[in-house]
Structure 1
Amino acid sequence: MPRFENIIAAIDGTGPTEQMVHTLLSLPAFAQCHVTLLHAVPSQTSAEEMRAAWQKGQELLAQTLQTFPPRPGLKISTQLVEGDPKVVVLQVAESLPNPLIVMGSRGRNRIMAILQNSVSQYVFQLASCPMLLVKDDAYVKYPSHVMVALNNSPAAQAAFATALDLVAGIPGAQIFLASVQLDADAQARDEVLDKAIATLKSRQISHRVFTAVGDPGTEIVRLAEESKADLLVMGSPDRRPSIARSIPDLDRLLGRSISDYVRVHIGCPVLMVRSAQD
């Protein structure tokens, strides 16, 4: 079974989401994916406002669809749905097999994102499927150099497996292994790194290793920037439980989420991967 069967692109008229989808479709790993261009129209206070918002959504999806010229094998459709955008995106993702959500992100910190009702922040917290976040000012490049943030968590291992699939069939592709330790003498991370290197060698995939000691979020962002990675893939096991969907996650607001720090500060697109154990 393919890792990805459906790409859900949240279209809001801003950001490089559309460009990211074009790039994904050029990769062998996504060649057979069905693309859903999704736009949600929030409920309006009057019927007239609703008609205007609905028409604007129709025009936006039609314009976006025109940027995907017909070609053999391309499977693409549009969905215009009334409802809260952040809820609609999750509902559509849950209805499709093996989905990947692609969304733009303004890179707000967690408190500001919640206070300003950020769609990407909400979906990032709650999606059970992988999610690709692209900052509005990001320059989307062909992902020949993919960085993976390694550790021994199930989510990080799922991220590594996803990166292997992403680079499969890409001529000259390289995987950058990023290993960050809190303790310079830690051994567990070295074992994870050694195992990943062995896997890459067995598959004849070119790779480079980047190591650092310090705060994981800060160092991952630094390594991605210094290596000029085109895409960062990392595990993201931390998300609010379903029972808390309507309220801010105060524990994590006051704590330290590596994936949330990276989401805010990273320059390149970042693919957040969950594991089956999350």
Structure 2
Amino acid sequence: MQLPVVVGVDGSDGSLRALDWAAAEAARSGLPLRVVHASLWERYEGRRPTFDTERPTEQILAEQLVAAAQERAQRLGPEMRVATSVQPEDPVAALVRESHEAALVVLGSRGRGRIAGMLLGSVSLALAARSHCPVVVVQARAPSTPPESGRVVVGIGSATGPSAAVAFALDQAASRHGELIAVRAWRSPAHEVVSHPLLSGTPASAHHQQAEEHLEEVLAALDRSGSSDVTIHRSVVQGPAHQELIEAAAGAELLVVGARRTGGWRGFHLGPVNHAMLHYAPCPVAVVPDSYLSSRS
């Protein structure tokens, strides 16, 4: 069974950009598209008696909204299978549930209502932290730098072993017939002395060498057979990870970062780098939970 690309819509300009991105992704990948609108309209209009045949106004508007979204998506991909769903539920809860049976979930960075003027909507942030599949957050405004076709950037953290984010990024670059830029940022504390017995030179050169070795280990563990035909560019840079990733993402079609499970209801851990990317990245951002790698194999 093909898992769909799920996109959350609310009628805002940001959700229209997310819809267009999701439709293009579904059409390019040959996946079905599922358009979801969730709203707690019952909270505002009150519950109606079971014998009342009139539907709430918000429900009618929601059905019109997803119908318009379906028509828009169908114009972008005439052969694409498009389904819709209107759910009287909290948007985060609805999209988290959808994420159990989705290839990825897409939504805009800003929504309607009080949070519309914020850099990042509360739904986007909450979903990125709790989703069971990769989440792509699309900025409300078009990037100032036109994206280069097929260019995908991924941030490499300090964790050892295969990376779920890199696996997703490699898949994205391959499906786009593009290139992958793997960025490993490092920083060395001031007045540090080299302690590694196999490393020599200044502390800065030692940290740079360690970062290079770690990056190669992550990439080698991901593609042991070397069968991937994606061109991978390594970028080992000194500086804050969020700053280096934002610079690398200029002109990219997609920036990919990882999120690790913290356990329980809290979902996944979104550190300061994730928050910075979701707020300030110049291109769509994919947040990939660490469980993606096991589901992929």
Q: For the superposition of Structure 1 and Structure 2, which TM-score range results when normalised by the shorter chain?
A: 0.7 to 0.9
The structural deviation recorded for 1:46 is: 2.6
Question: Is this contact kept in 2: 1:131–1:271, CA < 8 A?
Answer: yes
Distance, in Å, in 1 between the alignment partners of 2:227 and 2:213 is: 17
Matches within 5 A, 1:238-253: 241-242=264-265
Task: Say whether 1:120 aligns with 2:124.
Answer: yes
- Name which of 103, 106, 110 aligns with 1:106: 110
Pair member with larger Rg: 2
Question: Is this contact kept in 2: 1:156–1:234, CA < 8 A?
Answer: no
Residue 35 of structure 1: aligned partner: 33
Q: What is the total number of aligned residue pairs between the two structures? A: 254
- Quick one: which amino acid aligns to residue 274 of structure 1? P
The structural deviation recorded for 1:13 is: 1.2
Distance 1:81 1:155, change over 3 A: farther
Task: Say whether 1:83 aligns with 2:89.
Answer: yes
- Name which of 125, 131, 134 aligns with 1:130: 134
Distance, in Å, in 2 between the alignment partners of 1:100 and 1:62 is: 21
| Structure 2 unmatched runs, 5+ | 49-53, 189-203
- Name which of 249, 255, 274 aligns with 1:224: 249
The structural deviation recorded for 1:234 is: 1.5
Residue 236 of structure 1: aligned partner: 259
Task: Say whether 1:204 aligns with 2:229.
Answer: yes
- Name which of 163, 167, 185 aligns with 2:169: 163
Distance 1:155 1:25, change over 3 A: farther
Distance, in Å, in 1 between the alignment partners of 2:139 and 2:182 is: 23
CA offset digits 1:222-258 (Å, max 9, x no partner): 2222xx212111112266841x58xxx9x98xxx521
The structural deviation recorded for 1:127 is: 1.5
- Quick one: which amino acid aligns to residue 18 of structure 1? L
Distance, in Å, in 2 between the alignment partners of 1:211 and 1:131 is: 26
State the SS of the aligned residue for 1:168: helix
The structural deviation recorded for 1:81 is: 0.4
CA offset digits 1:68-117 (Å, max 9, x no partner): 14744x222100000111111112223x2x5311011139xxxx999x97
The structural deviation recorded for 1:182 is: 1.8
Question: Is this contact kept in 1: 2:161–2:217, CA < 8 A?
Answer: no
Distance 1:277 1:222, change over 3 A: same
Distance 1:197 1:20, change over 3 A: same
Q: After the TM superposition, list the runs of 4 or more consecutive aligned residues in structure 1 that deviate by more than 3 angstroms.
A: 47-50, 69-72, 138-143, 195-202, 238-241
State the SS of the aligned residue for 2:124: helix
Residue 266 of structure 1: aligned partner: 281
Distance, in Å, in 2 between the alignment partners of 1:12 and 1:268 is: 21
Distance, in Å, in 2 between the alignment partners of 1:22 and 1:202 is: 29
Residue 24 of structure 2: aligned partner: 23
% identical equivalent positions? 20
State the SS of the aligned residue for 2:142: coil
- Quick one: which amino acid aligns to residue 83 of structure 1? E
State the SS of the aligned residue for 1:103: strand
Distance 1:142 1:277, change over 3 A: closer
| Structure 1 unmatched runs, 5+ | none
Distance, in Å, in 2 between the alignment partners of 1:125 and 1:216 is: 19
- Name which of 187, 192, 209 aligns with 2:214: 192
- Name which of 134, 147, 155 aligns with 1:149: 155
Question: Is this contact kept in 2: 1:132–1:269, CA < 8 A?
Answer: yes
The structural deviation recorded for 1:25 is: 2.3
State the SS of the aligned residue for 1:260: helix
Residue 11 of structure 2: aligned partner: 13
CA offset digits 1:105-161 (Å, max 9, x no partner): 139xxxx999x9711111122222210011111349575100111234379711111
CA offset digits 1:193-229 (Å, max 9, x no partner): 224666597533223333321221222112222xx21
Distance, in Å, in 2 between the alignment partners of 1:154 and 1:37 is: 37
